[in-house]
């Protein structure tokens, strides 16, 4: 059975990011639509190419989601363009299957008259995206400084005449703005994305990028999800799960904390014990995960993701299920999640020695909170499992996190002379 379609990978990303920040997502979809119609008018691209470019256009501001509580997208789009262009570029380059085309995002705020200063293989595409971006920003211009005659005054300075003319032609032919007003553009985008083809690797990669975008908000959680996936996979193999169950386990672990997007950073990163009210908010993440995934992935995956805080004795949340209701993959993710949380402390906070981690997990199993067979398997293979994760994380997770931070500084320096 198919766990998730490419179309639904895109749906999950759009849904999640729009919960994280509805303003940015709305802007991104409008830009994506304008851009798509411009390409369609040109008739130079295959459907697959248009799909890919439009998907990039919808992700063009992905570097903005790092900023918590961003209300006025337009303002940020005009006054703070470099940092989110660079972050967006790095996310696509290092975390997505779109690496090769990531420059489109890097240069989406570069003034047209400066295109000569950089090498960009996708100049024509970037021109269109930059124009579409300005169009939507202009339509919201009540809040920002973009002159009423912007589109006549800055031809071939801030944007290209070619892109503007293309837009005007496409507007005449397709009635773009009318569809933006009526909301029809959303169905058209959905229809476009229903044709996307994605390999298994691409699906995992895109969803991984989503998790990164979320985890990037909080340094403390940046490795949590990836560690949970890794621990769960290793335990699943050791406990002889079949191929289908291992795939369900992978996606379930990968998506288990998506709902945390709705939890404020100060609660996520709270150094002390959470108050009752904070705990109530924190617990909601499971329901939100379930809500996001519902209808978009196989039910087995939803249950693995949404049951990671259930306890065998019925004391967990959010449904108070007990041992007999829970499957082995669900129990494995609960243990992997706890191990990841305990182990993660080591990287970021005070170190938790492995014997303390082992003791805590054994006690939880003895108290009939988490599965004893799973914990026994973990304890028997503890050093191997930790090493397995450490080996993988060299190139991934923390390694990538550091690379992105480093590269950011480097590109920022280069940008200083070019962007302003
Ligand atoms: Fe932007
Ligand atoms: Fe934008
Ligand atoms: Fe959780």
Dist CA 119 CA 414 (whole Å): 13
pLDDT digits (tens, 9 = 90+) for 165-207: 999 999 999 999 999 999 999 999 999 999 999 999 999 999 9
CA of 28 to the centre of ligand 2 (A): 6
203 CA distance to ligand 2 middle (Å): 24
Give the ligand at the shortest distance from the Cα of 27: 2
Q: Which ligand is nearest to the CA of 283?
A: 3
Q: DSSP string spanning 354-373? A: HHHHHHHHHHHHHTTSS-HH
Helix axes 276-293, 6-20, angle to 10 degrees: 150
Say yes or no to pLDDT of 325 above 70. Answer: yes
**155 bridge partner residues:** 159
Instruction: Name the pLDDT band for 391 (thresholds 50, 70, 90).
Output: confident
- Tell me the average pLDDT across 63-82: 67
Q: Does 71 score more than 90 pLDDT? A: no
Q: Which residues contact 175 (CB under 8 A, 6 or more apart)?
A: none
Q: Which ligand approaches the C-alpha of residue 84 most closely?
A: 1
Enumerate domains of the chain plus CATH numbers: 6-198 (1.10.3210), 218-401 (1.10.3210.10)
Residues of the chain with pLDDT > 90, as a percent, come to 72
The count of residues in the chain is 420
Burial class (CB in 10 A: 0-12, 13-18, 19+), 279: middle
Model pLDDT, residue 347: 46
Q: Are 297 and 8 in contact (CB under 8 A)?
A: yes
Average pLDDT over residues 343-353: 62
Q: Which ligand is nearest to the CA of 32?
A: 2
pLDDT score recorded for residue 143? 58
Q: What are 92-118's pLDDT values in tens digits?
A: 999 999 999 999 999 999 999 999 999
CB burial of 371-387 (b: ≥16 within 10 Å; e: otherwise) equals bbebbebbeeebeebbe
Q: Determine the pLDDT at residue 351.
A: 55
- Could you tell me the distance, in angstroms and rounded to a whole number, from the CA of residue 410 to the centre of ligand 1? 19
Contacts of 138-146 with CB under 8 Å at 24 or more apart are 140/27, 140/73, 140/74, 141/74, 143/72, 143/74, 143/75, 144/74, 144/75, 144/77, 144/78, 144/79, 145/78, 146/78
**Average pLDDT value over all residues in the chain:** 90
Distance 126 CA to ligand 2 centre (A): 12
In the reported structure, the alpha carbon of residue 397 is separated from the centroid of ligand 2 by a whole-number distance in angstroms of: 27
- Ligand whose nearest atom lies closest to the CA of 108: 1
Cα(393)–Cα(383) distance, rounded to whole angstroms? Answer: 15
- What region, left, alpha or beta, does residue 353 occupy, with left being phi > 0 and alpha being psi -120 to 50 degrees? beta
Nearest-CA neighbor of 82 among 102, 110, 112, 104?
Answer: 110
Which one of the ligands is nearest to 106 CA?
A: 1
pTM: 0.92
The encoded tokens of residue 103 equal 């420059």
The stretch 308-313 carries a mean pLDDT of 98
pLDDT at position 22 over 60? yes
Q: What is the dihedral of CA 115, 116, 118, 124, to 10 degrees?
A: 50
CB neighbourhood size of 186 (10 A): 15
Query: What's the CA-to-centroid distance between 25 and ligand 1, angstroms?
Result: 12
Ligand 2 centroid–CA 85 distance in Å is: 9
Q: Express each pLDDT in 240-275 by its tens digit.
A: 999 999 999 999 999 999 998 888 888 887 777 889
In the structure, what pLDDT confidence band is assigned to residue 348 with cuts at 50, 70 and 90?
A: very low
Give start and end residues of each alpha helix (H) in 43-80: 47-58, 73-79
Question: From the CA of 408, how far away is ligand 1's center (Å)?
Answer: 16
CA distances from 207 to 96, 122, 198, 335 (A): 9, 25, 12, 22
pLDDT at 403 exceeding the cut of 60: yes
Question: Contact 280/230 with Cβ under 8 angstroms?
Answer: no
Question: Quick one: which ligand is closest to 140's CA?
Answer: 2
pLDDT grade, residue 140 (50/70/90)? confident
With H, G, I as helix, E, B as strand and everything else as coil, classify residue 155: strand
Tokens of 255: 């998506």
State the distance from the centre of ligand 3 to the C-alpha of 218, rounded, in angstroms: 15
CA of 307 to the centre of ligand 3 (A): 9
């Amino acid at each position: 059975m198919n766990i998730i379609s490419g179309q639904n990978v895109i749906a999950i990303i759009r849904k999640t990011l729009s919960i994280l920040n509805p303003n940015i997502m709305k802007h991104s979809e409008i830009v994506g639509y304008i851009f798509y119609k411009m390409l369609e008018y040109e008739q130079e691209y295959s459907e697959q190419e248009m799909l890919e470019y439009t998907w990039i256009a919808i992700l063009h501001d992905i570097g903005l989601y790092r900023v918590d509580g961003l209300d006025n997208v337009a303002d940020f789009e005009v006054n703070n363009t470099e940092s989110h262009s660079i972050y967006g570029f790095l996310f696509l380059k290092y975390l997505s299957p779109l690496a090769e085309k990531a420059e489109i995002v890097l240069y989406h705020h570069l003034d047209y008259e400066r295109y000569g200063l950089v090498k960009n293989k996708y100049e024509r595409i970037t021109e269109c995206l930059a124009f579409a971006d300005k169009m939507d920003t202009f339509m919201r211009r009540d809040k920002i400084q973009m002159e009423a005659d912007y589109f006549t005054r800055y031809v071939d300075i801030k944007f290209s005449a070619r892109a503007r003319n293309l837009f005007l032609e496409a507007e005449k032919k397709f009635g773009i703005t009318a569809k933006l007003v009526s909301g029809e553009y959303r169905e058209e985008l959905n229809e476009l994305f229903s044709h996307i083809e994605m390999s298994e690797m691409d699906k995992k990669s895109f969803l991984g990028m989503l998790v990164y975008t979320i985890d990037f908000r909080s340094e403390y959680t940046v490795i949590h999800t990836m560690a949970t996936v890794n621990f769960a996979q290793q335990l699943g193999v050791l406990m002889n799960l079949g191929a289908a169950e291992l795939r369900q386990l992978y996606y379930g672990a990968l998506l288990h904390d998506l709902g945390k997007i709705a939890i404020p950073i100060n609660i996520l990163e709270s150094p002390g014990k959470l108050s009752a009210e904070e705990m109530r908010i924190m617990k909601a993440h499971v329901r939100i995960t379930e809500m996001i995934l519902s209808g978009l992935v196989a039910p087995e995956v939803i249950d693995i993701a949404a049951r990671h805080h259930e306890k065998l004795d019925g004391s967990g949340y959010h449904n108070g299920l007990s041992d007999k209701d829970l499957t082995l993959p669900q129990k494995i993710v609960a243990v992997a999640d706890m191990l990841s949380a305990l182990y993660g402390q080591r990287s970021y906070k005070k170190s938790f020695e492995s014997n303390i981690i082992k003791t805590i997990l054994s006690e939880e199993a003895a108290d009939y909170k988490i599965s004893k067979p799973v914990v026994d398997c973990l304890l028997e293979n503890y050093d191997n499992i930790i090493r397995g994760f450490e080996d993988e994380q060299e190139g991934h997770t923390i390694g990538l996190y550091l690379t992105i931070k480093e590269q950011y500084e480097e590109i920022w320096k280069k940008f200083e002379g070019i962007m302003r």
